[in-house]
Chains A and B, each alone.
Chain A
Amino acid sequence: MKRREFLECAALLITGASASQLGWTLTGEQEVYLAGAADYIDQPLNYYTPEQRELLAALSETIIPRTDTPGAIDAGVPRFIELMVAEWLNDAERAAFDEGLFALQQRAQKDWDGDFLALDEDARLELLETLESEASGSDWYQLGNIRRDFISDAPFICQLKELTIWGFFTSEVGGTQVLRYEAMPMRFDGDTPLGPDESTWMPYLI
């Protein structure tokens, strides 16, 4: 058993032990030992239709495809996007996002002569690049927003990238198989060699 798995098991045991004890005064929403909780994306989905889910999967995989390492679908990004649209975006942002999905399909029909899902990889890429070039004046592309304050009125293509990239690199698959992750390093070494093809550590929140 890896150290991390051990810790997660320990967390579960502790949670189980404490839940019955008196003095537990947290509210229900807080009463979760997060390391032992279910993954965020494992919640049930109930927002999009099967067709919309297929579209989101294709879009997120176009942004971050499977290469010699896992891609967006492998990492559960479509699930993440659906949950975030349903739970995290406000009403106006949700409406704009869904409108963006709809408009993208219309654009595909009009300028690429077919449903996005029917397009080949090059055409899909071309469509997204067109949307990005039309959005390039947005503040979303400014440097410096490293805390990722959400830009509420950014164009659809930006919000799609925001949720796809965030969902991917914070997922277990993206964090451990594309980036590197070590929950319990046990030491700090400020000078280790970095190979030309190596990934960053999964950053913790700042």
Chain B
Amino acid sequence: MSDASTQFDAIVIGSGITGGWAAKELTERGLKVLVLERGRELRHGVDYLGEHAPDWKLPYNGKKPREFYAEQYPIQSKSYAFGEDTRHFFVNDKENPYQQAPGKPFEWVRGNVVGGRSLLWGRQTYRWSEQDFEANRVDGNGMPWPIGYKELAPWYSHVEDFIGVTGQAEGLPQLPDGEFLPPMDMFALEKTIKGRLASKAPELTMTMGRAAILTRDHKGRAACHYCGPCQRGCSTGSYFSSQSSTLPAAEATGNLTLVANAVVERLVYDEASGKLSAVEVIDSQTREKLRYSAKLFFLCASTLGTTQVLLNSPSGTFPNGLANRSGSVGRYLMDHLNVLSTTGIFFDDMDSYYYGNRPNNTYIPRFRNLPGEDEDTDFVRGYGYQALPLRGDWKMNFNAKGFGAGLKDRLRKPGPWLWALAGFGECLPQYTNRAYLHPTRVDRFGIPQLVMDFEWGPNELALWRDMDKQSARIMKAAGAVFTSAIAAEDVVGGSAIHEMGTARMGDDPNQAVLNAHNQAHDVPNLFVTDGACMTSSSCVNPSLTYMALTARACAYAVTQLAEGQI
């Protein structure tokens, strides 16, 4: 193994949404930082191969090559964001296998480029509330969070100010307001529905989606041009990604080194000092093994990538995986319960149309099990709905019978409006939901494959029933003339792509992996700031919280390093 050490103060593993933030915060505080990314090189703007391509330029005019996907991308191709316009951002499933416990399917969607899933994310950006941080303490599920809303609030502001978040302040305790750019416009139908809900379901709030998309120029990045499919990449940097924002900021300090194609095999624990000394890496192209040393290590490899690295780094002190004295590493895996509950058809606002493709939805924040509410539920926690209108077009009218000029005319004209409610439900942390290393199966680098063993518990199933019931009520109040409850027989774990947990934060080192600063209880120079650190899951989209936790941990780590504590 060759020792590739130049002098680095810190090594960040992963260049996605948290790795990018760690790189920015650490380099801006003067540290020499190495970022290791297992995916390939991808240059901002230049390598967004699908951007702005009309359908007639896409292979097969955009019709997806089913058999090729089934063979090479059976998991990734289930994502709405996957197609020939974006495939180059994703991993090839066949080359990057993992295992699923029998009868418990779990979809693991992964980026495979510099920037990771920050290029592909849904961009919805919500603060957690005090109630979210208190939930475990209050109802006894999982273990208490070591921090609360007030510790994270300034870091939420810090992140929002940099990334740019469009949204509408509402003054709701369950969905704290942030630093917002102007909200996007609603469709006429959404305004109609909002008005009806205000009188028929006044306990609900329907607000414009809060999203990391610019509605005006912001910090050198251009306002959104409303082309539509963000997941193809945005050369104007109008949505937040590592590529458009944090990595350039880190680069500008002169303190950043980024190495792509660097597959982290393990972290090296030094028994004498009680700290990490190095990271061992395999170059995915040459298979050369390299070792990099530093004083500080930030693990930002995405929840399950981080789990894999920790479990694959055993030592004399930690025979069951790095920093795993508690036995919690890999445990308490969560995802959001993402259910397309109900779709309604509306004949309102038929003479109203739109201009531009709004890459955002509206949001109905949590309204169940709020403080002071009458308790009529058979579950704890709650859920919110993302709501999206669609105007009927040729794709929705495809099955129309007939031929000739009449068919052509029917297909080209708008149909009625559709309005869909997609629920996102909180998932409880459960010891039995976990990821672990397969005892014998390895990947092409010789690294043990992960096994996902995850299923919804009784609370999620009860919450799901309520989500369906309430969505039918909301559709009626909204004025749908026809509703179709899509009977979601199965919602597969991982399919919300909000997987989190497996290295939870908590004050008790016998139960938790990380302390209140995302620092490993037993390894002072190891910080885990991606989704793995989460102690509970809330029901709001998690990326903003990961970013705020990362920035906060970086500030702490740099101070500790300066004071000689690390």
User: What is the bound-complex CA distance between A18 and B235, given in angstroms?
Assistant: 15
Contacts of B84 in A (CB 8 A): 34
Q: A162, A182, A206: which contacts B80 (Cβ < 8 A)? A: A206
Are B413 and A200 interface neighbours, CB within 8 A?
yes
User: A170 with B226: in contact, given A125-B403, A187-B355 (CB under 8 Å)?
Assistant: no
Q: Mark A104-124, 1 if CB is under 8 A from B, else 0.
A: 000000000000000000000
Are A87 and B353 interface neighbours, CB within 8 A?
no
User: What is the bound-complex CA distance between A40 and B408, given in angstroms?
Assistant: 22
User: What is the bound-complex CA distance between A22 and B9, given in angstroms?
Assistant: 28
B187 contacts the other chain (CB 8 A): yes
Closest to B408 in A: A64
Q: A7, A165, A179, A188: which contacts B226 (Cβ < 8 A)? A: A188
Are A199 and B412 interface neighbours, CB within 8 A?
yes
Contacts of B395 in A (CB 8 A): 146, 148, 169, 203, 206
A101 contacts the other chain (CB 8 A): no
Instruction: Please provide the chain A residues from 36 to 61 with a CB less than 8 Å away from any CB of chain B in the complex.
Output: 37-41
Are B228 and A204 interface neighbours, CB within 8 A?
yes
Instruction: Please provide the chain A residues from 153 to 194 with a CB less than 8 Å away from any CB of chain B in the complex.
Output: 162, 165-167, 169-172, 175, 178-179, 181-194
Are A170 and B61 interface neighbours, CB within 8 A?
yes
Closest to A64 in B: B408
Q: Which of A32, A64, A190, A199 has the most C-beta atoms of chain B within 10 angstroms of its own C-beta?
A: A190
B245: shortest Cβ distance to chain A, in Å? 21
B270 contacts the other chain (CB 8 A): no
Closest to A196 in B: B351
B77: shortest Cβ distance to chain A, in Å? 12
A202 contacts the other chain (CB 8 A): yes
Are A166 and B63 interface neighbours, CB within 8 A?
yes
User: What is the bound-complex CA distance between A137 and B27, given in angstroms?
Assistant: 64
Q: B41, B58, B354, B396: which contacts A40 (Cβ < 8 A)? A: B58
Q: Mark B378-421, 1 if CB is under 8 A from A, else 0.
A: 00000000000011011110110111110110011110000000
Contacts of B57 in A (CB 8 A): 34-35, 37-40
B87 contacts the other chain (CB 8 A): yes
B172 contacts the other chain (CB 8 A): no
Interface hit among B45-53, B101-109, B366-374, B445-453: B45-53
Are A33 and B49 interface neighbours, CB within 8 A?
yes
Are A25 and B285 interface neighbours, CB within 8 A?
yes
Are A170 and B55 interface neighbours, CB within 8 A?
yes
User: What is the bound-complex CA distance between A200 and B391, given in angstroms?
Assistant: 8
A35: shortest Cβ distance to chain B, in Å? 4
Interface of A (DSSP majority class): loop
Closest to B84 in A: A34
B66 contacts the other chain (CB 8 A): yes
A96 contacts the other chain (CB 8 A): no
Closest to A135 in B: B401
Are A88 and B413 interface neighbours, CB within 8 A?
no
Are A198 and B353 interface neighbours, CB within 8 A?
yes
User: A190 with B187: in contact, given A34-B49, A64-B408, A181-B54 (CB under 8 Å)?
Assistant: yes
Contacts of B412 in A (CB 8 A): 169, 178-179, 199-200
A23 contacts the other chain (CB 8 A): yes
* Total A residues in contact with B, Cβ cutoff 8 Å: 78
B220 contacts the other chain (CB 8 A): no
Q: A35, A145, A194: which contacts B54 (Cβ < 8 A)? A: A35
User: A193 with B354: in contact, given A32-B49, A37-B57, A181-B54 (CB under 8 Å)?
Assistant: no
Are B394 and A62 interface neighbours, CB within 8 A?
no
Are A84 and B356 interface neighbours, CB within 8 A?
no
Interface of B (DSSP majority class): loop
Contacts of B355 in A (CB 8 A): 182, 185, 187-189, 192
Contacts of B407 in A (CB 8 A): 63-64
Contacts of B396 in A (CB 8 A): 146
Contacts of B59 in A (CB 8 A): 40
B465 contacts the other chain (CB 8 A): no
Contacts of B414 in A (CB 8 A): 194, 198-200
Contacts of A39 in B (CB 8 A): 56-57
Are B398 and A205 interface neighbours, CB within 8 A?
no
Instruction: Please provide the chain B residues from 323 to 380 with a CB less than 8 Å away from any CB of chain A in the complex.
Output: 349-358
Are A188 and B56 interface neighbours, CB within 8 A?
no
B188 contacts the other chain (CB 8 A): yes
User: A25 with B403: in contact, given A170-B55, A200-B414 (CB under 8 Å)?
Assistant: no
B67 contacts the other chain (CB 8 A): yes
Q: A188-B357, A198-B353 are in contact. List 20 more A-B contacts (CB 8 A).
A: A34-B85, A41-B61, A63-B407, A144-B484, A145-B399, A150-B63, A162-B398, A165-B411, A170-B55, A183-B54, A184-B225, A185-B357, A187-B226, A187-B355, A188-B226, A191-B185, A192-B353, A194-B352, A205-B55, A205-B229
CB<8 Å pairs between A and B, sample of 13: A25-B41, A35-B54, A35-B57, A64-B407, A145-B398, A162-B398, A169-B395, A185-B356, A188-B184, A192-B352, A198-B414, A200-B393, A201-B393
- Interface residues of chain B, those whose CB is within 8 Å of chain A, are 40-41, 43, 45-47, 49-63, 65-67, 80, 83-85, 87-88, 184-188, 190-191, 224-229, 261, 285, 349-358, 390-391, 393-396, 398-399, 401-405, 407-408, 411-414, 484
- Interface residues of chain A, those whose CB is within 8 Å of chain B, are 7, 11, 14, 18, 23, 25-26, 30, 32-35, 37-41, 62-65, 67, 71, 80, 83-84, 87-88, 90, 125, 128-129, 132, 136, 140-146, 148, 150, 162, 165-167, 169-172, 175, 178-179, 181-194, 197-206
